[in-house]
Structure 1
C-alpha cells in the first residue's frame, strides 16, 4: 500500500490521465498533434524570460517545470469540486514559493502568460473566458497567505500525515498476518489431506 503523501489530492479525473483527456479535447480544436506541448513549452519559456519570475523558477530544469505547469494548464480550464481546499493544496505542494516572496502579482504574470499560451491553440472562447475564474481561488491563496501561515499549516499537517502513515502501516501488517494465516491454513489442510490419502493407500 502506497503511503499518502498529501492530505489534499487532486480529483482522479484531474491527474495525469485527466490531463491527457483535456489535451485530446483541445487538440480537436487546435488540429496540430503537437500544439498543446508547443503551447506549454512557450509558457515555460515565458516564465524563464520574465525578469520578475525568472528568479523564482531558474533553479528548476525546464522539463521539471513543464511537468508541473501541465497541471496548472489543466486546472485553468477545468472545474474543481466546490469543496476543494485550494489553500491546503498550494501550501502542501508549493510552500517554498512563499519563502521566495511569491504573491498575487507574480501569479497574475503567470496567468497572463498562460492566457497567451492558450490563445495559440484557438481554444473555445467559452473555455478561455473561464480561465481567470478557475484560477481566482489560487490567486487568493497567494494574496492572503504569509510564510508563517504556511509553516504553521505544515507543522500540523506533517503530524496528521504521520498518524495516517502509522495507520496504513498497521493495516498493511494486519493484512500480511491475515495472508500468512491463510497460507498456513491452506498448508495445514493440504497436509491433512495428504495424510488421509497415505492412510487409505496403506
Structure 2
C-alpha cells in the first residue's frame, strides 16, 4: 500500500470521514482529531500490517479491545464497525488505491469485527 506517508494520509482521510458521519458522532464527536487519529491508526495497524506471529495478532486485538473499551460501554458495536468499514473503503478509494488492494484491506479489516460483536 505504500510507506508511512501513505498510511498517514489514509488515517487522516479515514478520521475525517468518521468525524463527518452523524451516525458515529455520539462515539467520536468529542474526540480531538489527534486523539481520534491515534485510536484509529492503531485499529488500522492491527488490521493492515502483517503480524510477525500469532502472539502479535492476539496482542494487537487485545490492544484494540482495550483502547475501545469505553466506546463499547457507550454502545459501540458491530453495526458501527460496519460503518467504520465503509469509511475505510472510502478513504482507500480517496487515496487512489487499486480495487484489488481495497478488497484485501477490507478482508483484513473485517477480521477485527469479532472484537466489536457483543461488546
TM-score normalised to structure 1 length? 0.49
**Greater RCO (Cα-Cα under 8 Å, separation 6 or more):** 2
Q: Gaps (5+ residues) in structure 1?
A: 1-21, 28-35, 146-202
* Root-mean-square deviation (Å): 2.5
For the 8 Å contact 2:17–2:91, the answer to whether it is kept is no
Cα 1:79–1:122 change in 2 (3 A) is same
Cα 1:76–1:103 change in 2 (3 A) is same
Q: What number of residue pairs does the alignment pair up? A: 116
For residue 56 of structure 1, report the CA deviation from its aligned partner: 0.2
TM-score normalised to structure 2 length? 0.76
SS at match of 2:22: coil
Cα 1:95–1:25 change in 2 (3 A) is closer
What residue is the counterpart of 1:142 in the other structure?
A: 116
For the pair shown, which has the larger CA radius of gyration, 1 or 2?
A: 1
What residue is the counterpart of 1:24 in the other structure?
A: 3
Pairs within 5 Å for 1:1-202: 23-24=2-3, 27=6, 36-80=7-51, 81-83=53-55, 84-85=57-58, 88-145=62-119
For the 8 Å contact 1:77–1:127, the answer to whether it is kept is no
